[in-house]
Amino acid sequence: MTSESDKSDVVDSPIGFSQHDHGACVSDGLAAAAAHCKEGGLRFTPVRRKVLEILLQEHRALGAYAILDRLREDGFGSQPPVAYRALDFLVANGLAHKIERLNAFIACVHPQKSHTPAFMICRLCDAVAETLSSPARGALGDAARATGFRIERTVVEAEGVCPLCVDKGDT
Ligand SMILES: [Zn+2]
Ligand SMILES: [Zn+2]
Ligand SMILES: [Zn+2]
């Protein structure tokens, strides 16, 4: 698989809210991360891999303490720095994102591509779906260009109700 051949994936539909083969999310996510680390000469240590696996298990953001609990259950120790250092590594290398709104973390769904993520967060069940945003192109980009402001980072976190919760009539 080359990065040239899968550019069509860039315009994807967020999978977090739809029915899909979730086993593939976990195995493909771990395989992609391992390949990404190998390519970049990064060390994909067992604890980094475990933290990513925990994040991949659900399309839901997890706080550092929830992650720490799972690490402890799996025998990786219980020192908070262990979880924080692994999360820092995953975020710094584009394998996971921090959801500021929830102070929690989620596995990236397209780790090989440089992108600005946008998140849709369900306020009822905490499900999170990631999609791509293009701040340079929208109204924000226009305003930035007009004022000579150079955008370095944007955070797009939409809060609302996911399709599953709408169907359940919880609103
Ligand atoms: Zn999935
Ligand atoms: Zn991402
Ligand atoms: Zn929901």
**Ligand 2: distance of its center to the CA of 102 in Å?**
16
Residue 48, H or E segment = helix 46-56
Q: Can you tell me the mean pLDDT for 133-161?
A: 89
Three-state secondary-structure class, residue 93 = coil
Identify the structural domains of the chain with CATH numbers, from first to last. 20-109 (1.10.10.10), 115-171 (3.30.1490.190)
- What does the pLDDT average to over 143-162? 92
Ligand closest in space to the Cα of 32: 2
Percentage of the chain modeled with pLDDT above 70 = 89
Say which ligand is closest to the CA of 115. 2
Q: Calculate the CA 108 to chain-centre distance.
A: 3
Q: What is the DSSP letter of 158?
A: E
Torsion of CA 55, 61, 63, 69, to 10 degrees: -40
| 170 — pLDDT class (breaks 50, 70, 90) | low
Q: How far is the CA of 121 from the centre of ligand 1 (A)?
A: 15
Length of the chain: 171
pLDDT-based confidence at residue 14 (cuts at 50, 70, 90): low
pLDDT score, position 71: 93
Query: pLDDT for 84-118, tens place per residue?
Result: 999 999 999 999 999 998 999 999 988 777 888 99
For 21-50, what is each residue's pLDDT tens digit?
888 889 999 999 999 999 999 999 999 999
Number of the ligand closest to the Cα of 124: 3
Q: How far is the CA of 157 from the centre of ligand 3 (A)?
A: 15
Ion ligand 2 contact residues with beta carbon within 5 A? 108, 117
Residue 68 scores a pLDDT above 60: yes
**Counting ligands in written order, which one lies closest to the CA of residue 20?**
1
Is the whole model's pTM more than 0.75, yes or no? yes
- Considering every ligand atom shown, identify the ligand nearest to the alpha carbon of residue 114 and give its number: 2
